[in-house]
Amino acid sequence: MSETKKPWFKELHWQIAIGMLLGVAAGIFLQSIGQPAGVISIVELGGDMFLRLLKMIVIPLVAASLFLGVTGVGSSKDLSLLGTRTFIYYLFTSLISITVGLVFVNIISPGTKVDIQLDGLTGKAVEAPSSFIDILVRMIPVNPFGSLSAVPFDMLAVIFFVIILGVFALKVTEEQRKPLVDLASSLNAIMIKMVHGILMLAPIGVFCLVTELVAEAGVQVFISLSWYLLTVGLALAFHFFVILPAIYYYFRKENPFEFMRQMSPALLTAFSSASSAATLSLTMECSQKNKKVSPKISSIVLPLGATINMDGTALYEGVAVLFIAQFMGMDITLFQQFLVLLTALLASVGAAGIPHAGLVTMVLILNTLGLPDDSAGLILAVDRVVDMARTATNVWSDSIGAALVETFSSKRKV
């Protein structure tokens, strides 16, 4: 029996898209009447509560589903193969994305077309990041339960602990493992029901987030940095609509844009929230829908992707640093651009799946070229908009990665 097709306006992705468009209109209107503090506060509260609801379910959902995924793989050897395929995909697409960004910034040279003062831009302060070695050390939690309750939560430490727990659970008898597996299975089922409930609020939450952004950012700053925005936008669009779909089609022989449509609720939520971590539960839900990706695969690949696979962030960091260098009149050699590529790759691994995380890791790349940390102020004013686009790219790459790992594993019966 065929399912009755829902009217288009009842589809979640259309509801989210309508919420975004209404948010743009409302933001422009609020800015035109002077950004009334009371209304802005209400909108900000709505967006913040929606993000908190999404983040609330990330840790228990990831912990439960990842543990089930690891213990359901079958053996440590199969888990190692799965991890290797996942890592190769993430490394490959990240390198491609950075290369795409460097090509576009060299062709367009946006930094030579901008005439503004650094002092005139405002934005959030950028803190110096940890070194890459520190990131690797921090991955091992001293107190795994403390990592679960940390604010902001340490996703990398949680993933590491749950994977280790699952690996050693495979080394005990099934009778000893069963109570913990049953607990994780029950928790995972309950969290999925919670995801469905929270998603009913997604159009309202997206409306609030977009309204706040447009009302506070204005349009003048976007005009001043239009060449930078054009360069980043074109590079991200090329990677999003050309490179990643081509990779998907080559390995799966399926229409990538149909898969994109199925993932659209997660992609639109990622775009509006600028947080791949907050979107993770929805990404997992959409990837498993229509039997595109099995829970066994998605529960491992997607949490890892939300933590270490940052195609959009890596691309943006390369473009942003070269844009700043061009603006400051530096002549960047090919060797220096190669250093930017490598540093952007490493920095993107350590970027948390939260808004503006790319700005923090970008300081590593600025230091690579000898640029001052405060030169990041040139792009801070428009970072939120760029952050939205790069986060959607990150989530799209994660989704394709899960689908491809599913394909490779099916062919090899892993």
Classify residue 1: in a domain, yes or no.
Answer: no
CA dihedral 9, 274, 401, 149 (to 10 degrees): -110
Question: Does 161 have pLDDT greater than 80?
Answer: yes
Identify which of 189, 190, 240, 221 has the alpha carbon closest to the alpha carbon of residue 388: 240
Residue 330: other Cβ atoms inside 10 A: 15
Question: Does 282 have pLDDT greater than 70?
Answer: yes
Q: How far is CA 45 from CA 41, 51, 124, in A?
A: 6, 10, 19
Q: Which of 122-131, 132-141, 168-177, 363-372: highest mean pLDDT? A: 168-177
Residue 134: pLDDT band by 50, 70, 90 thresholds?
Answer: low
CB of 144 closer than 8 Å to CB of 258: no
Classify residue 172: in a domain, yes or no.
Answer: yes
Q: What angle do CA 282, 188, 413 make, to 5 degrees?
A: 85
Q: How far is CA 336 from CA 204, 231, 318, 322, 359, in A?
A: 45, 20, 11, 10, 20
Residue 414 and residue 412: Cα distance in Å, rounded? 6
Q: What pLDDT score was predicted for residue 126? A: 38
Query: Who has greater pLDDT, 382 or 200?
Result: 200
Question: Does 1 have pLDDT greater than 50?
Answer: no
Counting the structural domains of the chain, the total is: 1
Q: What sign does the CA torsion over 200, 201, 204, 207 have?
A: negative
Classify residue 3: in a domain, yes or no.
Answer: no
Q: What sign does the CA torsion over 265, 44, 280, 363 have?
A: positive
Classify residue 265: in a domain, yes or no.
Answer: yes
* Unique residue bearing structure tokens 């359901």: 72
Residue 221: pLDDT band by 50, 70, 90 thresholds?
Answer: low
Q: What pLDDT score was predicted for residue 398? A: 94
End-to-end C-alpha distance for the chain, whole angstroms? 32
Residue 30 and residue 35: Cα distance in Å, rounded? 5
Query: Who has greater pLDDT, 379 or 110?
Result: 110
The tokens describing 384, both together, are 């939120």
Number of alpha carbons in the 13 Å side-chain half-sphere of residue 212: 19
For the domain that residue 153 is a member of, what is the CATH number?
Answer: 1.10.3860.10
CB of 355 closer than 8 Å to CB of 275: yes
Judged by average pLDDT, the poorest of 110-119, 303-312, 402-411 is 110-119
Range of the domain at 150: 8-411
Quick one: 306 exposed, middle or buried, by C-beta within 10 A (0-12, 13-18, 19+)?
A: buried
Residue type, 198: I
Question: Does 40 have pLDDT greater than 90?
Answer: no
Question: Does 49 have pLDDT greater than 50?
Answer: yes
Judged by average pLDDT, the poorest of 168-172, 328-332, 390-394 is 328-332
- Find the DSSP H helices in 328-382: 334-349, 357-368, 377-380
How many residues in the chain? 414
User: What is the chain's mean pLDDT, rounded?
Assistant: 79
CB of 217 closer than 8 Å to CB of 381: yes
Question: Does 280 have pLDDT greater than 70?
Answer: yes
Q: What pLDDT score was predicted for residue 21? A: 85
Judged by average pLDDT, the poorest of 36-45, 179-188, 367-376 is 367-376
Residue 29 and residue 23: Cα distance in Å, rounded? 10
Q: What pLDDT score was predicted for residue 218? A: 64
Classify residue 204: in a domain, yes or no.
Answer: yes
CB of 159 closer than 8 Å to CB of 63: no
Classify residue 377: in a domain, yes or no.
Answer: yes
Average confidence (pLDDT) over 320-346:
81
* Unique residue bearing structure tokens 């099995």: 294
Question: Does 371 have pLDDT greater than 70?
Answer: yes
For residue 203, whether the previous peptide bond is cis, meaning omega lies within 30 degrees of 0, is: no
For residue 179, whether the previous peptide bond is cis, meaning omega lies within 30 degrees of 0, is: no
Judged by average pLDDT, the poorest of 125-134, 136-145, 221-230, 373-382 is 125-134
Residue 385: other Cβ atoms inside 10 A: 19
CB of 284 closer than 8 Å to CB of 302: yes
Question: Does 8 have pLDDT greater than 80?
Answer: no
Could you say which DSSP state residue 119 is in? G
Query: Who has greater pLDDT, 120 or 308?
Result: 308
Average confidence (pLDDT) over 326-333:
83
Classify residue 2: in a domain, yes or no.
Answer: no
Please state the φ and ψ torsions of residue 175, each to the nearest 5 degrees: -65, -40
Q: What pLDDT score was predicted for residue 122? A: 37
Question: Does 204 have pLDDT greater than 70?
Answer: yes
* Unique residue bearing structure tokens 């280790």: 164
Residue 34: pLDDT band by 50, 70, 90 thresholds?
Answer: confident
Rounded (10°) angle between helices 383-411 and 295-308: 140
Average confidence (pLDDT) over 230-237:
95
**Residues 6+ positions from 325 with CB-CB distance below 8 Å:** 111, 332, 369, 371
Judged by average pLDDT, the poorest of 2-16, 32-46, 115-129 is 115-129
Query: Who has greater pLDDT, 73 or 279?
Result: 279
Classify residue 150: in a domain, yes or no.
Answer: yes
Question: Does 159 have pLDDT greater than 90?
Answer: no
